């Protein structure tokens, strides 16, 4: 390693400790979506379901606020909503579901004065792991709305956990909104013996009215799937010339991710202005790939450019991984890493 490399900041040196109460306080839309609103979502005329989703989510937000109005009687419970207590956006990656879910949060909280929590599916399961089940319920129950982005069930334990958590919240009058690439009745398909947990899966599905969002991935409209990688020297030059940038070998970062709990990935990259990766290579291992997916989500949430050498990000996962049970997770990661790499290429 050269002397200049020794002076560069490294993601692999970071192993933050995040207090449980901070996990609760950070349940808000990520910085990339802090300013979005329904009015800033531009529906495609070729896909009418996009405009329908805006109208449906806005109306749902109004119903949440109506239920959040002051109630007569100090101890009166919130009135149960007519129909399913939740709204579920189903559609491919890159069609704006996170934009719409963040807009719903802002409609309820920023504009309507209500209270809401916003996090990814993984962040909620991590919250339960950090706090314990009942304390997590108590932390979320005062909210009028709980937003769950990237809803996905990867194992039977998560199925039972989230089903129970959502039942507890609904019983306390909390409304739910979620996004996913999979219809709620099909969650878990291809990942584990879903038929053995069908009752739990159907219980989840019964909490939601489904709104479909069609369209193409906006990150790729008129753009190449992934930019050409830079050479190693160019990656290091960007890292050395940009305050707050990190510089690591890709393999070192992958190894480090195994040592950091995924709930802390956001804190790990939070103060980073750019992530510079040398010698990106194709990932063949499932567990390594899934950790990289979580890292890609946290980088994308925070709009952090990625500057990289090695293989392009549309070749970062093997065909075996892309065609397996976690296909949609990997495709989302490719889409997001490619978008961040286009931002990173401009820095060079």
Q: What is the pLDDT of residue 223?
A: 47
CATH number attached to the domain at 3-7+219-347: 3.40.50
Query: What does the chain come to in residues?
Result: 348
3-class DSSP string for 10-31:
CHHHCCCCCCHHHHHHCCCCCH
Q: What is the pLDDT of residue 18?
A: 81
The contacts of residue 114 (CB under 8 Å, 6+ apart) are: 64, 65, 68, 108, 144, 145
Average confidence (pLDDT) per 10 residues, the chain, 348 residues: 60 88 88 93 92 95 83 47 76 84 96 94 85 94 93 68 88 91 49 46 70 74 71 95 96 96 88 96 96 94 95 95 84 91 91
| Domain range summary for the chain, segments of one domain joined by + | 3-7+219-347, 35-216
Q: Are strands 175-180 and 86-90 parallel, antiparallel or unpaired?
A: parallel
Lookup: tokens for 22: 């901070």
Q: What is the pLDDT of residue 214?
A: 87
Q: What is the pLDDT of residue 95?
A: 84
Q: What is the pLDDT of residue 224?
A: 52
Q: What is the pLDDT of residue 189?
A: 45
Rounded to whole angstroms, the Cα distance separating 67 from 251 reads: 50
Q: What is the pLDDT of residue 125?
A: 86
Q: What is the pLDDT of residue 193?
A: 41
Q: What is the pLDDT of residue 219?
A: 57
Indicate the burial class of 66 (C-beta count within 10 angstroms; 0-12, 13-18, 19 or more).
Answer: exposed
Residue range 35-216 forms a domain whose CATH class is: alpha beta
Q: CB-hemisphere CA count at 13 Å for 339?
A: 22
Q: What is the pLDDT of residue 80?
A: 54
Say if 3-7+219-347 and 35-216 have the same CATH topology: yes
């Amino acid at each position: 390693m050269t002397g200049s490399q020794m002076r560069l900041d490294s993601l692999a040196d970071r192993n933050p400790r995040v207090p449980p109460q901070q996990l609760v306080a950070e349940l808000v839309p990520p910085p990339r979506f802090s300013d979005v609103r329904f009015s800033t979502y531009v529906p495609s005329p070729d896909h009418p379901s996009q405009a329908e989703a805006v109208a449906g989510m806005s109306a749902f937000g109004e119903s949440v606020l109506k239920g959040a109005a002051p109630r007569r009687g100090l101890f009166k419970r919130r009135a149960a909503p007519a129909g399913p207590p939740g709204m579920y956006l189903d559609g491919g990656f890159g069609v704006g579901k996170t934009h719409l879910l963040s807009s719903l949060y802002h409609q309820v909280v920023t504009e309507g004065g209500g209270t809401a929590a916003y996090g990814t599916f993984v962040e909620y399961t991590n919250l339960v792991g950090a706090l314990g089940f009942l304390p997590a319920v108590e932390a979320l129950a005062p909210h009028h709305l709980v937003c769950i982005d990237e809803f996905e069930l990867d194992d039977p334990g998560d199925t039972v956990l989230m089903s129970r958590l959502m039942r507890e919240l609904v019983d306390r009058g909390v409304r739910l909104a979620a996004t996913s690439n999979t219809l709620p009745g099909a969650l878990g398909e291809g990942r584990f013996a879903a038929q053995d947990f069908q009752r739990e899966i159907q219980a989840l599905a019964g909490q939601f009215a489904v709104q479909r969002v069609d369209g193409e991935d906006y990150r790729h409209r008129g753009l190449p799937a992934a930019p050409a990688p830079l050479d190693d020297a160019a990656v290091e030059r960007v890292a050395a010339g940009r305050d707050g940038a990190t510089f690591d070998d890709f393999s070192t970062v992958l190894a480090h991710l195994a040592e950091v709990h995924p709930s802390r990935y956001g804190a790990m990259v939070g103060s980073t202005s750019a992530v510079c990766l040398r010698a990106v290579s194709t990932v063949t291992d499932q567990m390594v790939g899934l950790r990289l997916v979580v890292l890609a989500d946290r980088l994308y949430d925070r709009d952090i450019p990625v500057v990289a050498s090695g293989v392009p990000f549309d070749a970062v996962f093997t065909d075996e991984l892309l065609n397996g049970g976690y296909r949609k997770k990997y495709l989302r990661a490719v889409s997001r890493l490619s978008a961040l790499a286009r931002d990173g290429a401009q820095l060079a």
